[in-house]
Amino acid sequence: MTNKETSPAGNGKPKLAIYWAASCGGCEIAILNIGDKILAVDEAFEIVFWPCAADFKYEDVRNYPDHSIDLCLFNGAIRSSENEEMAHLLRQKSKVLVAFGSCAQEGCIPGLSNLTSASDTFRAIYMDNPSIDNPAATLPQTVTTVPEGELHIPVFYNTVRSLDQVVPVEYVIPGCPPEPPQIWAVLEAIVTGAPLPAPGSTVIGASHLAVCHECPLEKHEKTIERFYRPYEITPEPGLCLLEQGLMCMGIATRGGCGALCPRVGMRCEGCYGLLDGVEDQGANMISAIASVVNVGKPGDDEAELERRIGVAMDSIVDPAGTFYRFNMAHSLLHRVKTGNNGDVQNRGSETA
């Protein structure tokens, strides 16, 4: 935390920037949810950029010297050219860039649009939508010529990316949104100068173990005959939800949240993302889940075996949307394959 003389306002406090790219705003609220401690943040940091809460312009940031921002919490995925530009700019200006929240970390819900294409998305938003009346089929155009000259709006990309797929980041704080106590823990560590782990997309403010480790529900050996959607059953209290046929992602999801959802009978949806050493959260889920689906025995006829397993797996609705709900943009496949016209090919019935 040096370079005080080059910092924008020069009041001696470390400089903090908070930015939202493609996101819902929940991460900002999570920051405010640290409660009284927000005053301590204000005490400790000088806020130099926070579009949601303070009146700074992009131009202001451009004018800051490089590396003058001590800490930048960047939430939101990279969905448009504007997001990408700001990612590069904030990278350039920041000493420590943190992918804050699931969107910046792994694409999160915006990333699910990688299961479709930009053109399909436009079609859904601006045309094939019951609440839209758009007879002229007007779509956002990146360049519009008006008498005064050309107007530009950002390009809407075909594929959503995470922050670290665009620029290197020092740290990642997972969660949709990150839990306030952990946000505070990280900020506090930075304020007090406590040692942080070696940078390089390093996860902080979360556990290195899966949610199950924090989950108080009783766990047994797992044999599952079929799966249920949450509305179909009322889970037995106190028992592992997965064992009851609810597609709980806790087994393959980083902990740190305190297993808030399973505690109240709601399956973990996977928002804290993948664990260290895992390359693909969805693939790991498939492997784990399919392993304990107790259908098919060695003595079965081969065709019958395939049929029975097929039927059991059919009770898992929308596997891509379930297993990659938060992690799509960070998965190995990253996005759906589309035809030359941008249409999504060969989707099968579940997404039709």
The interface with other proteins within residues 283-322 (CB under 8 A) comprises 283-293, 295-300, 302, 305-306, 309-310, 312-314, 316, 318-321
Contacting residue, 130, 221, 231, 237, with other proteins by CB under 8 A: 221
User: What is d(CA 291, CA 267) in angstroms, rounded to the nearest whole number?
Assistant: 19
Query: How many angstroms separate the Cα of 208 from the Cα of each of 1, 4, 51, 79, 325?
Result: 28, 35, 32, 29, 20
CB 29 within 8 A of CB 177: yes
> DSSP state, 79?
E
Q: What is the DSSP string of 268-281?
A: ---TT-PPTT-S-H
For other proteins, the closer of residues 130 and 298 by Cβ is 298
CA 152 to chain centre: 28
Shortest Å, Cβ 110 to other proteins: 14
Shortest Å, Cβ 261 to other proteins: 15
Sign of CA dihedral 60, 62, 64, 70: positive
**Residue 3 touches other proteins, criterion: CB under 8 A:** no
Question: Which of the residues 111 through 130 are near other proteins (CB under 8 A)?
Answer: 115, 117-119, 122-123, 127
CB 142 within 8 A of CB 154: yes
**Residue 352 touches other proteins, criterion: CB under 8 A:** no
Shortest Å, Cβ 12 to other proteins: 39
**Residue 226 touches other proteins, criterion: CB under 8 A:** no
**Residue 104 touches other proteins, criterion: CB under 8 A:** no
Question: Which of the residues 151 through 180 are near other proteins (CB under 8 A)?
Answer: 155-159, 161, 165
CB 10 within 8 A of CB 2: no
Question: Which of the residues 248 through 287 are near other proteins (CB under 8 A)?
Answer: 250-252, 255, 275-280, 282-287
Number of residues that bind other proteins (CB under 8 A): 96
Comparing CA positions, the residue from 333, 239, 352, 240 lying closest to residue 286 is 333
User: Binding marks (x or -) toward other proteins, 45..84, rule CB under 8 A?
Assistant: ------------------------------------x---
User: What is d(CA 85, CA 74) in angstroms, rounded to the nearest whole number?
Assistant: 13
**Residue 88 touches other proteins, criterion: CB under 8 A:** no
